[in-house]
Structure 1
Amino acid sequence: MLVASNNIFDYQSNFNFVQHVMLMDTTFPGNDLMWRSISSPSAHHAAYWLIIAGEMSAGVLCVWGAIGLIRASTLPREIFSKAKRTATLGLTLGIFVWFFGFMTVAAEWFLMWQSQQWNGVQAAFRFIVCIALVLIYLNQPESD
């Protein structure tokens, strides 16, 4: 939710990032995949709002899931295990946003990895790893 909020309140900063990635204007000179670039400002804004919506949805589900887990923390194991579903959904959505959106679409389709200035691969990887570790921990079986 914090990332999505930052993107809303400081819209232009990360919008520039999305715009340059989609324009592919800082990829290796003369690459043969420039046909993938998208120059439509409307498409840039739509993609950015899709990212923000995914980030916000993942964040809301995680917070809602955490509240549910806190409420279920003193209840029987079966109920606590069922309470993990919302947080699991939020974490899974977060991995989808960061892995599919950033590592697959941005980094590979739009060749973000080629850019010295607009390369978010390392940041996306950090998010994916952190979210995945929490997801793995959360989904460990509960002991009696």
Structure 2
Amino acid sequence: MNPITTSQTIRFSKATLMLFISIFGLLMLYSNLTDYTTNFEYLGHILSMDTTSDGHKYSYRAITSTMLHHRIYWLIITLEVVFTLFCLLGTYHLYKNINARAETFHEAKKPALIGLLIALFLYYVGFQVIGVEWFNMDKSESWNYKDWARHIVDFIFPLLIFIAMKVER
């Protein structure tokens, strides 16, 4: 019986963590497509800035067009589809190459890294930067994705670093 090496454990953990983020992406897609109305309402309040506690000081930034709300929501859903597909593809390539040469395994990380970058763009730039800094999402007590997005970024960013690192042999 061959003992499992640290390198094999690292490879397996990278592939499995990518599986976890892929499952997250699939669940997000399912939620956004099956409960479109609830999630759309959430986004509409954020973009309209109609529940921020700043006395409408920044209301000139608000997007009040329902048509634009739908388009922005479909952009978010599209980015979720793309990041999920890349993460699923990355997961497949990592598991497929789990026993390959170190260089082959390292090259198999490309789709995973692309998927994680897209997810980081969506949840950090989209929600934490634009949502919080431009639309003052954090000033709303009832329509606020700030903590939710931060928790996702807190998983994705270290995962991106861990996947990119070439420590396995």
CA distance in structure 1 between the partners assigned to 2:168 and 2:143 by the alignment: 45
Q: Indicate if the aligned counterparts of 2:54 and 2:139 stay in contact, CA closer than 8 A.
A: no
Larger radius of gyration: 2
Q: Taking structure 2 as the reference length, what is the TM-score of the superposition?
A: 0.82
- 1:31 CA drift (Å): 3.3
Is residue 36 of structure 2 the alignment partner of residue 11 of structure 1?
yes
Q: Which residue of 2 aligns with 1:103?
A: 128
Mapping for residues 1-144 of structure 1, pairs under 5 Å:
1-144=26-169
In structure 2, how many angstroms separate the alpha carbons of the residues matched to 1:40 and 1:87? 35
Change (3 A) 1:125 1:29: closer
Please give the per-residue CA displacement for 1:29-56, whole angstroms capped at 9, x wherever unaligned. 5232100111111000001001111111
Task: State the Cα RMSD in Å.
Answer: 1.0
Change (3 A) 1:133 1:29: closer
Q: What percent identity do the matched residue pairs reach?
A: 33
Runs of at least 4 residues off by over 6 Å: none
Unmatched 5+ stretches in structure 1: none
What TM-score, normalized to structure 1? 0.96
Number of matched residues? Answer: 144
Q: Which amino acid aligns with 2:136?
A: L
Distance 1:44 1:143 in 2: 45
* Offset from partner CA, 1:100-139 (integer Å, 9 cap, x none): 1101111111110100000110000000011112111111
1: CA distance, partners of 2:60 / 2:92 = 46
